[in-house]
Chains A and B, each alone.
Chain A
Amino acid sequence: MIRYTLKRFLSLCISLAVASLLIFFVIEIAPGDPASFMLGINAQPDTVAALRAELGLDVPKFERYLAWTQGMLTGDFGMSYTYRTPVSQMVADRLWVSLPLALFALALSTIIALPAGIYAAARRGKTGDVAVMSATQLGVAIPNFWFAMMLVLIFAIKLRWFAGGGFAGWDKGLGAVLWSLTLPAISLALPQAAILARVMRSALLDVMNEDFMRTARAKGLTTTQTLWKHGLRNALIPVLTIIGLQFSFLLAGGIIIEQVFYLPGLGRLVFQAISARDLIVVESVVMLLVFAVIVVNFAVDLAYAAVDPRLRART
């Protein structure tokens, strides 16, 4: 287990280093100067030069890369060009919106998907299965922002149960926060739940054809008992993989949902930063998301090993 963990950890470090290089230079190559963007079309050249100096943009690219990566190791991402506040603080503020939203959506998606997938697998070929599969087909096909707009139309504009968007703020308490995140979380969760339910179903069906399942039946367990005691545990590996991928997607992929519900989250920060050429913010957030994806994958790898002892033995 220790060797397995170390090996995974090493590949994590290499991935991060390569990612930081790619992110920094690809983003820096894109045309557009943050200083002239900020000062607009009437600015005089000496004014732009003064702002570039103030922002530290007159330093060569490679030196800025080194400063950036060194700072990151200590948690210092530098200063935002446009907002002039520390990037780490901005990201932390936004994480307080995006992280609960992603977790909320992931919880919803899992709560909906696992029972639905298990139910469909148990009722394979029957009406219940067809109903669940049709619903998930629809869920996969419909984009989440369309769900979002429908939810707003019905629950915010017509019924007035929820606000049309916006974040309540943590000072209003957990209840208010969850309430304001409910519609966005549902719209994020539904398409994810549809995918997850399909994965759950097919994973279970695959397992059901395995020899050990027949053995379990032969030793006298009912279909339901074999499904719960032997099938589920073995079907969890692909499901865990998808949940891991979905979490990273939910954290980073909320951009459109955050726009539709005007939530001050990470996605919105990146969106604003890209249009303002606030490069250091874009680089840092993308780097952070890469970090999150890699760490989640690392955790999922470890979880495989926990679920499936064979993986531990093999490496």
Chain B
Amino acid sequence: MKHFVSRLALASALSVASLAAHAANTDITVAMQLEPPHLDPTSAAAGAIDSVLYSNVFEGLTRFMGDGSVVAGLAKSWDISDDGLVYTFILHDNVLFHDGSTMDAEDVQFSLNRARANDSTNAQKALFAGITDVTALDAATVVITLDAPNGNFLFNLAWGDAIIVAPESIEGIKQAPIGTGAFKFANWVQGDKIELIRNDAYWGTPAVLENVTFKFISDPTAAFASVMAEDVDAFVGFPAPENLPQFEADPRFQVLVGSTEGETILSTNNKMPPFDNVKVREALAHAIDRQAIVDGAMFGYGTPIGTHFAPHNPAYVDLTGISAYDPELAKKLLAEAGFADGFETTLHLPPPSYARRGGEIIAAQLAQVGIKAQITNVEWAQWLETVFRGKDFGLTIVSHTEPMDIGIYANPEYYFQYDNPAFQELMTNLNATTDPEARTALMGDAQRMISGDYVNGYLFQLAQLSVAKAGVQGLWTNAPTQATDLTAVSWAD
């Protein structure tokens, strides 16, 4: 009994200690599911790297805001030549890297040239493909020349893959990143946590938080326990949607439901018979009950989509009506295409629950119209090899999380192999257009074209689900890019 009492005393002492820590209101522990493999946003595709570092530690010339808009970052202002080929950026003064050295035009030149070099290992090298020259005019002025006008250029520069690094810190960047952001990297215990501290020499508005700890908890049950036991202050990208109602009912917590850039689609091999027949693809689209998938696989979180475009984007066109759920119509279309008795195909499912859970439901819905989809569960590495590069698949489910990625439909070599010269021309026009209104119109046309061609089965926009203690304010609700921007986060008093 004595032992029992002393444990209780210890436990209460611990909770008093944690209360005291929160009274200071400048520390936060944020959990997420995946750990970054290393800390260089410019040489891997892993979203977890940006989730920790984007805009916290590293900054680019422009940056994404929580609402998806692109604003000035390290560049104070810019000027675009009339032909749209020459961008002149004026950098902010007094920007220091965390090691105390000055960030100037030479660093910008180095970073962009490194990303587009022949031996570059930048996962989004295509973003920089149009750059023909980067010149540091003086310490605060950079001139970038393109080979063709690119209406997306400022947007592209906001990606985590385009952040500005210093040549002298490249060697250690994977373990000890040195950026210009409002937080400095402090410590990484691999498999466990990454710690950041406030950068008191920050050039812009300083952060409110002083100490930030990112914890990596991949198991959904453990994620639930960590929030419930108040071991973490926030969980960004909470992996167990079934538990969210419990947090919503608990006054200690707040639940943030937003949207990501992830269009979750039933990718269809457009070159493989019978999917090379547009009637079959149309039948596929009408055989899918999107809301049932959102309810069954995602516990109701997610917005049904009818094209490959994020619903929260101002240029989005709601085309869900074109592929409305209508199994009778689907059967009729299949019969017209010569498949009155249906056919067999494969359905490759990568690990995320949207695919594994959603795949079961889709297979059942397809069976209703006579399409027998043989489910194969695959790991990501295997998915990349067989489905993505080998193009050896009939159907697969995947969430395309890159922002504004409708351009992938202009590449006939892309794994779903949609080859439509009209669409390719449309994309060329879009890239060459800088006028916002004309761009919106073109993006609308693009959405309608792929929707009308039923290239893929468009399912739903992946939701961004986060849980935080009630006192945490300033977290992003949406995820316009995979980032956990803590520069404006604070505790309510």
Hey, what's the 0/1 contact readout for A265-281 against B, CB within 8 Å counting as 1? 10011001011111000
Closest to A53 in B: B119
A38-B46, A42-B126 are known contacts. Are A165 and B217 too (CB-CB below 8 A)? yes
Q: Are B379 and A42 touching (Cβ within 8 A)?
A: no
Q: Are A163 and B229 touching (Cβ within 8 A)?
A: yes
| B448: interface (CB < 8 Å) | no
- A315, chain B: closest CB distance, angstroms: 44
Q: Are B125 and A44 touching (Cβ within 8 A)?
A: yes
Count chain A CB atoms within 10 A of each CB in B15, B121, B217, B379 and give the residue with the most: B121
Total A-B contacts with CB atoms under 8 angstroms apart: 152
Q: Are B385 and A275 touching (Cβ within 8 A)?
A: no
Within B110-136, the residues touching A (CB, 8 Å) are 118-126
| A259: interface (CB < 8 Å) | yes
| A93: interface (CB < 8 Å) | yes
Q: Which residues does chain A contribute within 8 Å of B225, judged by CB atoms? A: 149, 152-153, 156-157, 164-165
Closest to A52 in B: B121
Within A10-66, the residues touching B (CB, 8 Å) are 31-34, 36-44, 46-47, 50-51, 54
Instruction: State in angstroms the CA–CA spacing of A166 and B218 once bound together.
Output: 12
Q: Are B37 and A83 touching (Cβ within 8 A)?
A: yes
| A94: interface (CB < 8 Å) | yes
One of A43, A82, A152 near B37 (C-beta < 8 A): A82
| A141: interface (CB < 8 Å) | no
| A160: interface (CB < 8 Å) | yes
Hey, what's the 0/1 contact readout for B189-232 against A, CB within 8 Å counting as 1? 11110000000000000000000000111110110011011110
- A98, chain B: closest CB distance, angstroms: 11
| A262: interface (CB < 8 Å) | yes
Instruction: State in angstroms the CA–CA spacing of A54 and B175 once bound together.
Output: 17
Instruction: State in angstroms the CA–CA spacing of A192 and B361 once bound together.
Output: 39
Q: Are B229 and A164 touching (Cβ within 8 A)?
A: yes
Instruction: State in angstroms the CA–CA spacing of A135 and B295 once bound together.
Output: 42
| A84: interface (CB < 8 Å) | yes
One of A36, A157, A161, A262 near B385 (C-beta < 8 A): A36
Closest to A84 in B: B174
One of B119, B215, B222 near A259 (C-beta < 8 A): B222
Q: How many B residues touch the partner, as a band?
A: 35 or more
| A305: interface (CB < 8 Å) | no
Q: Are A259 and B37 touching (Cβ within 8 A)?
A: no
Q: Are B379 and A32 touching (Cβ within 8 A)?
A: yes
| A225: interface (CB < 8 Å) | no
Q: Are B351 and A160 touching (Cβ within 8 A)?
A: no
One of B35, B229, B389 near A160 (C-beta < 8 A): B229
- A147, chain B: closest CB distance, angstroms: 13
Q: Which residues does chain B contribute within 8 Å of A46, judged by CB atoms? A: 118
| A292: interface (CB < 8 Å) | no
Q: Which residues does chain A contribute within 8 Å of B46, judged by CB atoms? A: 38, 40
| A205: interface (CB < 8 Å) | no
Q: Are B191 and A268 touching (Cβ within 8 A)?
A: yes
Q: Which residues does chain B contribute within 8 Å of A269, judged by CB atoms? A: 191
Q: Which residues does chain B contribute within 8 Å of A264, judged by CB atoms? A: 189-192
Q: Are B37 and A260 touching (Cβ within 8 A)?
A: no
Q: Which residues does chain B contribute within 8 Å of A51, judged by CB atoms? A: 43, 121
Q: Which residues does chain B contribute within 8 Å of A94, judged by CB atoms? A: 191
| A143: interface (CB < 8 Å) | no
A39-B123, A50-B120 are known contacts. Are A31 and B229 too (CB-CB below 8 A)? no
| A169: interface (CB < 8 Å) | yes
Q: Are B11 and A159 touching (Cβ within 8 A)?
A: yes
- A163, chain B: closest CB distance, angstroms: 5
Q: Are A160 and B15 touching (Cβ within 8 A)?
A: yes
Instruction: State in angstroms the CA–CA spacing of A25 and B388 once bound together.
Output: 25
Instruction: State in angstroms the CA–CA spacing of A294 and B123 once bound together.
Output: 42
Hey, what's the 0/1 contact readout for A153-190 against B, CB within 8 Å counting as 1? 10011011101111101000000000000000000000
A38-B37, A90-B190, A259-B219 are known contacts. Are A33 and B385 too (CB-CB below 8 A)? yes
Q: Are A47 and B384 touching (Cβ within 8 A)?
A: no
Within A227-275, the residues touching B (CB, 8 Å) are 259-265, 268-269, 272, 274-275
Q: Are B45 and A275 touching (Cβ within 8 A)?
A: no
Enumerate chain A interface residues (CB-CB to B < 8 A): 31-34, 36-44, 46-47, 50-51, 54, 82-85, 90, 93-94, 149, 152-153, 156-157, 159-161, 163-167, 169, 259-265, 268-269, 272, 274-278
A–B Cβ pairs within 8 angstroms, 24 of them: A36-B384, A38-B46, A42-B123, A43-B125, A47-B125, A83-B38, A84-B38, A85-B190, A93-B191, A149-B221, A152-B222, A157-B225, A157-B229, A161-B8, A164-B225, A167-B192, A169-B192, A259-B218, A259-B219, A260-B219, A262-B192, A264-B189, A265-B191, A275-B380
**Considering the complex of A and B, which 3 residue pairs feature the smallest CB-CB distances, nearest first?**
A40-B45, A32-B381, A264-B191
- In the complex, besides A160-B230, A276-B37, 4 extra interface pairs with C-beta distance below 8 angstroms are A50-B121, A161-B7, A164-B231, A269-B191
